[in-house]
Structure 1
Amino acid sequence: MSGSILEETIASHETPGTPFYPPFAVTPELEAEADERISHYPASKRSATLPLLHIVQHKFGYISAAAIEWVAAKLDLEPIKVVEVVTFYPGFRQSAPGKFHIRVCRTLSCAMGGSYELMEKLCELTGIDRSSSDSHHHPISVSPCGKFSVEFAECLASCGSAPVCMVNDDFHEGISPDKAEGLLGNYSA
């Protein structure tokens, strides 16, 4: 698979959030961490695909075409095999989110509790236009300043305190639309 086809397949286009993340680069630390993870799968290096993708996304914010090529090379796979994993799991981002990435639960309890209204309010407050997002290929919408991004998530496992959301790795319960401004204020830096 050539680089140009891989780049066309992966939606790692520039977003306003891109400046908040370092460009993908293979460092000795990344190599060491990857080798350590691969060592947990002596029978099949391929089984380390998910752990390596998680490392990349944690360090660089999203999975780029260059990252896919590196993971594939580390695991002796064709890049298409890594693309299949990245495009199958919605937790892997294919483009840069904002500095503060907000995932709003949209499953039944949260939807009934106002998660769709919460999403509308978050977009209004941050200037995010979700009109070009879709739920699978381009689920993330980024604010013009790149500071915030939003996407819907499936069940965040707190149905009794709906609506819930996560900002980066911080979990928030009972965030009604009228609490959206206060939530964003916690992430103003």
Structure 2
Amino acid sequence: MSSTGSTYGGSSLGAGDTHQATVPDTDVVGIAPVEAEHLVTDTAEDLSVFDAKTVERAQAIIARYPQSRSALLPMLHLVQSVEGRVSQAGIQFCALQLDLTAAEVSAVATFYTMYKRKSCGEHLVSVCTNTLCAVLGGDEIYKKLGEHLGADGKRLGHNETVGEPGQPGSITLEHAECLAACDLGPVIQVNYEFFDNQTPDKAVALVDALRKGEKPAPTRGAPLRDFRTAELELAGFWPEDEIDYRATVDGPSAAVETLRGAKLAEERGWTAPAMPNPPLPEVEKK
């Protein structure tokens, strides 16, 4: 009788052997797609793109918070306002400013979809493809835009850009999860400003206008800016002149559909019952 036993897959191992013991070690460094030294050493990135003004803004962000690490989210938006993405240099810049490790910054930058690892176009066009918008036509809109913006028979894909990133008329397309406008679906955002009640034809007309250098007025919200300017605003920096500031932020904020329920309640005298306010249980003191 053989001293080897059959495994589930039909292979045979020596008595008492494990599968690992019968397989030679793999040289992971040898088969790595990057040079070995990149696996074990840190690369010093060129941070010269972040000029003195950017450093000043970074310090202003940090000053808003009791703990500097709390400034990381707006700091990443600041980086995107400079580069149009979060590069390895941007990660190192944030880490140095906030006294964090590059790994800590990377963990945040790769968790949130609003931080881009590839350079964005002048305009970021986000098509909601979550359930309600998808049913109302969001999937069709996303497909139509991909075909319209693509080239050589290839559809433009998620987070891909037509044109030179950052240059006038360039567009990055993405499908987005819920954009919190179900009552106005299907919706598109351009640099996070809303364009409601879209159709494939209206969406195509919108991106065509953007590529020609036009800035159509959003359905709601502030006047349209380019992606990098929007990122600077998300970092918390606005025009200091009051007139310029108002021109930047003023715009219709709520749609008729959104306020319809409140309007009906007002007309018909409907009120909601008062919220209960039960006493909180005593917490045992330590």
Q: Same fold (TM over 0.5)?
A: yes
One-letter amino acid of the structure 2 residue matched with residue 126 of structure 1 = L
Aligned 1:12-91 pairs, distance under 5 A = 25-42=49-66, 44-91=67-114
TM superposition shift of 1:144: 5.3
One-letter amino acid of the structure 2 residue matched with residue 156 of structure 1 = L
TM-score by structure 2 length? 0.53
8 Å CA contact retained: 1:37, 1:52: yes
> What secondary structure is seen at the aligned counterpart in 2 of 1:116?
helix
Does residue 116 of structure 2 align to residue 93 of structure 1? yes
How has the CA–CA distance of structure 1 residues 53 and 110 changed in structure 2, closer, same or farther, with 3 Å as cutoff?
same
Gaps of 5+ in 1: 7-22, 134-138
TM superposition shift of 1:130: 5.5
Q: 2:144 aligns with which of 107, 121, 141?
A: 121
TM superposition shift of 1:95: 0.7
8 Å CA contact retained: 2:50, 2:82: no
TM superposition shift of 1:27: 1.2
Q: What is the distance in 2 between the residues matched to 1:145 and 1:61? A: 12
TM superposition shift of 1:60: 2.2
User: Taking every aligned residue pair, what percent have the same amino acid on both sides?
Assistant: 33
Higher RCO, 1 or 2 (CA under 8 Å, sep at least 6)? 1
One-letter amino acid of the structure 1 residue matched with residue 113 of structure 2 = P
Please give the per-residue CA displacement for 1:102-127, whole angstroms capped at 9, x wherever unaligned. 10111111011111110111111111
Does residue 55 of structure 2 align to residue 2 of structure 1? no
- 1:11 aligns with none
> What secondary structure is seen at the aligned counterpart in 2 of 1:114?
helix
Gaps of 5+ in 2: 1-40, 214-286
TM-score by structure 1 length? 0.79
Q: What is the distance in 1 between the residues matched to 2:164 and 2:52? A: 32
Please give the per-residue CA displacement for 1:83-142, whole angstroms capped at 9, x wherever unaligned. 0000111111011122221101111110111111101111111116468x6xxxxx4111
One-letter amino acid of the structure 2 residue matched with residue 151 of structure 1 = E
8 Å CA contact retained: 1:140, 1:149: yes
One-letter amino acid of the structure 1 residue matched with residue 160 of structure 2 = S
One-letter amino acid of the structure 2 residue matched with residue 3 of structure 1 = T
One-letter amino acid of the structure 2 residue matched with residue 74 of structure 1 = Q
> What secondary structure is seen at the aligned counterpart in 2 of 1:186?
helix
Please give the per-residue CA displacement for 1:58-102, whole angstroms capped at 9, x wherever unaligned. 332110100100110111111000000001111110111222211
- 1:136 aligns with none
One-letter amino acid of the structure 2 residue matched with residue 140 of structure 1 = N
Please give the per-residue CA displacement for 1:24-79, whole angstroms capped at 9, x wherever unaligned. 7121111111101101223x211111111111113321101001001101111110
- 1:141 aligns with 160
Q: What is the distance in 2 between the residues matched to 1:109 and 1:24? A: 45
One-letter amino acid of the structure 2 residue matched with residue 143 of structure 1 = V
One-letter amino acid of the structure 2 residue matched with residue 34 of structure 1 = A
